[in-house]
């Protein structure tokens, strides 16, 4: 089988022959979808659905496999894509990105998100939930305000998942014990199921496809609120994906009689707006040819028009995916680093306190 180099493919593209050249390049090849969380969790589930349907949307219909590289709040897999994976058009990272690490320059994240070739993203709200048997009993969301001995489970202490949870609870004035350190949301969910903790937060797919059918419908947990991005006018409305659930802002106003404000709330919005605008992200390694990034962008756009893919996704996740592509996604990524110095300083200290158990 004849295989063309990327240099030849680029030349062909310049001559308007992109599709045949790309097909010749990808035919017989294997594309790896790198997932930055362990198997069985929401990121992995979505990544495998993408991998299953992606081949028919890539010229040449290559074989597509999934490789999990979890740990470090998603940063191990992210670093691998940035430092190890070759920029040869054959690796696509399907990630839950760590907004805080990107915004505050976490040394554990050794590559900048803006260095990657951005392919696509998926918007999702974040759902918070609690066990109903949390003392003295939780039958409605407002009952969390009177709980005692509450254990709030999450990922590592510097992770977006953890910090958005501690900020929300601190803003509400709830007494709780933070229990970070889980490698993935599937592990958190299992721990809640087994009674090792009482509350947590999850992606929409985690809530719809796993927590809701296995725990809410059995009467074990109830949803509390959801976090979602502000609209273009700055207002925060319920996500169309979970219109039945109140926003955090609605819940705060219900229990405190006023709107949330202050530095902690600014920190929460700093996380939530970009994170829920593009909860999942698809990237290619730094210095990947623009042609290969363009081909994968087109492939992901094709996926979102593919009824077989959408049917599989909706069956597993119980919700249709909201695609983010092109300049919109690039703008979200670029905007993450534009944090006011005083807010960045506050957040670094806050995160250090959480890591030290001082929250």
Q: What distance in Å separates the CA atoms of residue 129 and residue 204, rounded to the nearest whole number?
A: 12
Q: State the CATH class of domain 126-275+340-355.
A: alpha beta
Residue 126 pLDDT exceeds 90 = yes
Question: By the 8 A CB rule, do 302 and 57 touch?
Answer: yes
| pLDDT tier at 209, thresholds 50, 70, 90 | confident
pLDDT band (50, 70, 90) for residue 183: confident
From residue 113, give the alpha-carbon distance in Å to each of 105, 163, 290, 296: 11, 20, 16, 17
Please report the pLDDT score of residue 42 as a whole number: 85
- pLDDT tens for 294-348 read 999 999 999 999 999 999 999 888 888 889 988 899 999 999 988 999 999 999 9
Closest CA to 328 of 73, 26, 120: 120
Average pLDDT over residues 142-154: 96
Closest Cα to residue 180, out of 164, 193, 204?
164
Assess whether pLDDT exceeds 70 at residue 57: yes
Task: Tell me if the pTM is above 0.85.
Answer: yes
Domain boundaries of the chain, sorted by first residue: 6-123+277-335, 126-275+340-355
Residue 69: closest CA among 222, 216, 221, 183: 183
CATH topology of domain 6-123+277-335: D-Maltodextrin-Binding Protein; domain 2 (3.40.190)
310-315 contact pairs (CB < 8 A, 24+)? 312/49, 312/52, 312/53, 313/46, 313/49
Query: Tokens 């990947």 map to which residue?
Result: 288
Q: Kindly list the distances between the CA atom of residue 45 and the CA atoms of 39, 40, 81, 105, 169, in Å, as whole numbers in the listed order.
A: 8, 6, 19, 29, 29
Cα 119 to chain centroid distance, Å, stands at 15
Helices 307-317 and 42-53 sit at what angle, rounded to 10 degrees?
160
Q: Tell me: the pLDDT tens digits for 93-107?
A: 999 999 999 999 889
């Amino acid at each position: 089988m004849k295989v063309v180099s990327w240099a030849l493919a680029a030349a062909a593209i310049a001559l308007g022959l992109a599709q045949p050249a790309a097909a010749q390049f990808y035919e017989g090849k294997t594309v790896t979808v790198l997932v930055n969380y362990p198997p069985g969790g929401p990121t992995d589930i979505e990544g495998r659905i993408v991998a299953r349907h992606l081949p028919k949307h890539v010229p040449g219909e290559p074989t597509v496999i999934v490789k999990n590289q979890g740990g470090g709040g998603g940063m191990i897999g992210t670093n691998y894509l940035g430092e190890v994976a070759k920029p040869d058009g054959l690796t696509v990272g399907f990630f839950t990105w760590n907004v805080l690490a990107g915004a505050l320059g976490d040394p554990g994240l050794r590559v900048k998100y803006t260095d990657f070739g951005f392919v696509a993203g998926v918007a999702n709200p974040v759902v918070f939930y609690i066990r109903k048997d949390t003392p003295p009993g939780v039958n409605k969301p407002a009952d969390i305000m009177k709980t005692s001995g509450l254990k709030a489970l999450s990922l590592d202490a510097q992770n977006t998942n953890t910090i958005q949870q501690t900020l929300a609870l601190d803003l509400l004035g709830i007494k709780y014990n933070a229990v970070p350190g889980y490698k993935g949301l599937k592990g958190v969910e299992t721990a809640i199921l087994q009674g090792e903790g009482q509350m947590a937060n999850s992606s929409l797919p985690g809530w719809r496809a796993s927590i809701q059918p296995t725990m809410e419908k059995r009467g074990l947990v109830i949803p509390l609120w959801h976090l979602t991005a502000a609209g273009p006018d700055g207002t925060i409305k319920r996500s169309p994906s979970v219109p039945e659930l109140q926003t955090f802002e609605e819940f705060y106003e219900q229990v405190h009689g006023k709107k949330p404000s202050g530095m902690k709330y600014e920190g929460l919005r700093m996380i939530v707006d970009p994170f829920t605008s593009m909860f999942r992200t698809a990237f290619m390694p730094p210095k990947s040819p623009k042609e290969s990034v363009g081909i994968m962008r087109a492939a992901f756009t094709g996926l979102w028009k593919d009824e077989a893919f959408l049917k599989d996704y909706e069956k597993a996740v119980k919700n249709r995916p909201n695609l983010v592509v092109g300049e919109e996604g690039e703008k979200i990524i670029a905007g993450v680093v534009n944090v006011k110095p005083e807010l960045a300083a506050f957040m670094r200290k806050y995160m250090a306190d959480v890591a030290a158990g001082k929250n």
